Structure 1
Amino acid sequence: MRALIASLSLLAATPALAQDELTSLSDEFDSGVLTGWVRFDQAFGWPDKIKALDVGETTPGALHIEPHHSAWVRDLNAPFLFREVNGDFDVRARVRVRSQEGDIPGGTWSLGGLMARVPNRSTAERWAPRSENWHFITTGVGQVAGEPMTETKSTFNSYSSLRLRPFPTGWVELRLVRVGMVLIALARPEGETRWQVRDRFYRMENNPVMQVGLIAYTTSDDVPPGPENPEAINRTVDRESRVDMVLEVDWIRFARPLPRVRPDWYAQVSANPLADPNLPEAELLEALGS
């Protein structure tokens, strides 16, 4: 572990970033209004797929989101509230995904959580396929109804790969950490102090800016499977199909990560120790901090 910390210190040749530089982006959702967030649909001209949204009305002290039938996968989009972050970040959120009447959302593919998306020039007016690049960690249910999971997903040029693994329901903390070319997805159940590494993403990204924030998506059993036309689906809001998914967000907090690695591309591909897939989880967690 000492060798890892030493290598990180040697690579951090640039001046240290203030640890509280990003805290102004944080939101405790206790003001009763949604301030300073960019809505993906409004910013890029897509139709509104949010069925319900409020701050503190449905759940005191929390953001409440209900999506219509939608998905973040391949070229498809769904509700997304974000802030723009320049450079590395450590973002955490306390969230709960449930149904209207119970602890587990209804149906399948009903999840919500954190996403970091690479900006592109695609809008509803100038949409282009194969231009989506993002990573996320969410909680809820996946392919099997009634079984709570985390879903981690990476999308490169609109090709999505995912990982589903069982995880407790109820309030949980989710976390995304970016250190150069590395993005780490973590989660921990309510009441636990140790983070669990749920996924590790590696990508060379020339754009230092990412859209970082909250997503919610769900599918309806009323919608039969069929060929996927992403442009048509993205331009349509299905308000008739039944959905039963609620995302609640108690808070979201932004900070700079503890590890720092020189940002030039060669240092990232040759010497970023966090990019080692064989790095033991215990060492990774110690480097990231609690």
Structure 2
Amino acid sequence: MSGYALQIGAILCVHVIAAYAAYMTLAAGQLNLGIAGFMALGAYGSAVLSNAGWAMPQSIAGAVLLASLVGLCVSYPVLRARGIYLTIATLAFSEVVVALILNMESLGAASGLVVVGHLGFWPILWVTLGVVALVVFLASTRFGLCLTAIRNDAQGAAVFGVRTRRIEVTAFTIGAALAGLAGALYAHHFSYVEAQRFNVLLSTYAVLYTLLGGLQTPLGPLVGAALFTLAPELLRGTDEWRYVTFGAVIVVLMLLRSEGLFTRSFIHNLMHRRPAT
């Protein structure tokens, strides 16, 4: 594979993990726009640990632990809100994280931070496949069923014995950990991080990957992230019109497939399609 293809592949992997970070909360009916903030914690946490002499695997693990602990602490006050207020609260958290980093000279402030240790495409790919397998497994467990029940009817799920608060906190914490992992992988692949990269647009994209792919199956975020990442590259030959074309394609897809591209009915039809005679 060429260097360009490997670079696009690494970016795709980071986007896939970020999409699953958004998926964990969206699966419970919660719109979390704090993904970029947790990615920043993962990126800078891993960078600081690596620069302090830690081995790369330990640095990444420490960054994921940091993001998950912060996610656990933030989830309790944040999840008291609902609807648009929850979205605003998570967005505010992300902005606070970025603002703190921008004002810390020890983290490079606005100039960014050089990261010791480079991580190539293939290790990132294997980690991404592990994340996909983990989320698919969680979706098949009672925990995954509870997430779907809460998204469809939280009050009804509580009546039937689902501890909605505990499930929501767990989903939020897992999402924070995955976002921290995505940020750590990004930092070690590009060997440089800057706080401006972790803005609200990054969180919005992560949510769009999931919504476009579909919430009905755990493979939806993978499909959505792949389409969002690869389609602009495939349309590169159209020069300045590629983003216009890409935007038009997204609008048409959302009109025709409002529940996402990868739904249960789509999988059923695909598996039971009879070959032409």
- Structure 1 or 2: larger helix share? 2
- Structure 1 or 2: larger strand share? 1
Q: Would you say same fold, with TM above 0.5?
A: no
Higher relative contact order (CA 8 A, sep 6+): 2
TM range, smaller chain: under 0.3
Q: Give the TM-score of the pair, scaled to structure 2.
A: 0.24
